[in-house]
Amino acid sequence: MAKVDGPLFSVEARGKIADSIVFFPWKGRHIVRQWLKPTQPHSVLQGYVRIAMISIGKTVAKIFSVANGDGTDSKLYTLSTASAPAGMNWNADYAAGFLGMLQSAGELVTGSWTALIAAYSALGTAVLTAFQTNATALGLSDTAFSYGYTVNVPAGFHLFAAGYAAYNNSLTAGAPFNTVPTSWVASDVNNFKSAFTTA
Is residue 113 within 8 Å of residue 12, measured between CB atoms? Answer: no
Among 84, 66, 68, 98, residue whose Cα is nearest residue 194: 66
Query: Residue-wise over 21-60: b if at least 16 C-beta within 10 A, else e?
Result: ebbeeeeeeeeeeeeeeeeeeeeeeebbbbbbeebbebbb
Is residue 165 within 8 Å of residue 102, measured between CB atoms? Answer: no
Residue 39 pLDDT greater than 70, yes or no: yes
> Alpha-carbon distance 114 to 27, whole Å?
38
Whole-model pTM: value is 0.80
**Structure confidence at residue 5 (pLDDT):** 67
Least confident of 18-22, 54-58, 63-67: 63-67
Residue 161 pLDDT greater than 90, yes or no: yes
Domains of the chain, residue spans: 3-34, 44-197
Alpha helices in 35-109 (DSSP H): 44-69, 75-83, 90-99
- Beta strands at 3-5 and 12-17: parallel, antiparallel or unpaired: antiparallel
> Alpha-carbon distance 148 to 151, whole Å?
9
Average pLDDT taken over every residue of the chain = 87
Is residue 22 within 8 Å of residue 35, measured between CB atoms? Answer: yes
> Alpha-carbon distance 184 to 165, whole Å?
14
Instruction: Report the C-alpha dihedral over residues 180, 149, 77, 182, rounded to 10 degrees.
Output: -10
Residue 125 pLDDT greater than 80, yes or no: yes
Q: How confident is the model at residue 67 (pLDDT cuts 50, 70, 90)?
A: low
**Structure confidence at residue 9 (pLDDT):** 67
Amino acid letter, residue 52: A
